[in-house]
């Protein structure tokens, strides 16, 4: 399956002060949403002190919100080059989202990057935004796979919340259910081949943002 890689840019400086810039967009549960970031820039140190992420739900019947405080880490990227492989450090911001079923969901959340990005940022600094979808059951995709391996009793896995079926993580046909594989466009189980919930799952994706 081919995927479209999301690439974007973030502009730092007075012209974008108090401005939210788009860093990620996608669709889950039939809801199209976008995530933008407000970058707190220290011009004296040429550094980013923090990032505030905000999620906007545009179309769809379910709202999505942040499920946990995002985690930022420094990673290393090896790029093929001549005469030798080039090594570049980049930042990965891992954030989780889910169906906003709480009474006061988090649509805005802060990311502390002050001790990760450092000072004297260079043009072209890469920030990778990694998105993970959390199920209604508040379990990751790997956790649900382990649960499925242990039992096929649907009563032991909560696929619903207040009558809403978790169509991003499960197929269903009557009392039959099966976990979706990430990015899978086909229903391999014959008993579920007529399921109306045959849209592919999209549990983890990322976008790449370059600072200019």
Total residue count of the chain as it appears in this document: 212
| pLDDT given at position 52 | 93
Q: Which tens digits make up the pLDDT trace of 14-50? A: 777 788 999 999 998 899 999 999 988 888 888 888 8
Query: Whole-number mean pLDDT of the chain?
Result: 76
Cβ-based neighbours of 17, under 8 Å, separated by 6 or more: 41
> Residues 51-76: what's their mean pLDDT?
91
Q: How many CA atoms lie within 13 A of 147 on its CB side?
A: 20
179 close to 164: Cβ distance less than 8 angstroms? no
User: Residues 38, 43, 46, 48: what is their CA dihedral angle, to the nearest 10 degrees?
Assistant: -20
**pLDDT confidence bin for 207, thresholds 50/70/90:** confident
pLDDT, tens digit (0-9, with 9 covering 90-100), for 109-139:
999 887 777 666 777 788 888 888 888 766 6
pLDDT at 199 over 70: no
Of residues 167 and 179, more confidently modeled: 167
């Amino acid at each position: 399956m081919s995927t479209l890689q999301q690439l974007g840019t973030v502009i730092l400086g007075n012209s974008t002060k108090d401005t939210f810039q788009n860093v990620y967009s996608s669709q889950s549960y039939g809801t199209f949403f976008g995530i933008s970031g407000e970058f707190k820039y220290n011009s004296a140190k040429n550094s980013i002190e923090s990032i505030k992420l905000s999620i906007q739900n545009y179309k769809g019947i379910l709202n999505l919100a942040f499920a946990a405080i995002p985690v930022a880490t420094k990673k290393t990227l090896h790029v093929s080059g001549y005469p030798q492989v080039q090594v570049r450090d980049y930042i990965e911001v891992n954030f989780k989202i889910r169906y906003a079923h709480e009474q006061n969901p988090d649509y805005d959340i802060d990311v502390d990057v002050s001790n990760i990005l450092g000072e004297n940022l260079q043009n072209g600094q890469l920030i990778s935004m990694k998105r993970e979808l959390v199920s209604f059951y508040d379990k990751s995709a790997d956790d649900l796979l382990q649960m499925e391996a242990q039992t096929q009793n649907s009563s032991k896995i909560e696929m619903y919340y207040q009558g809403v079926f978790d169509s991003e993580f499960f197929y269903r046909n009557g009392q039959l259910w099966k976990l979706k594989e990430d990015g899978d466009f086909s229903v391999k189980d014959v008993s579920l081949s007529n399921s109306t919930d045959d849209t592919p799952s999209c549990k983890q994706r990322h976008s790449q943002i370059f600072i200019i």
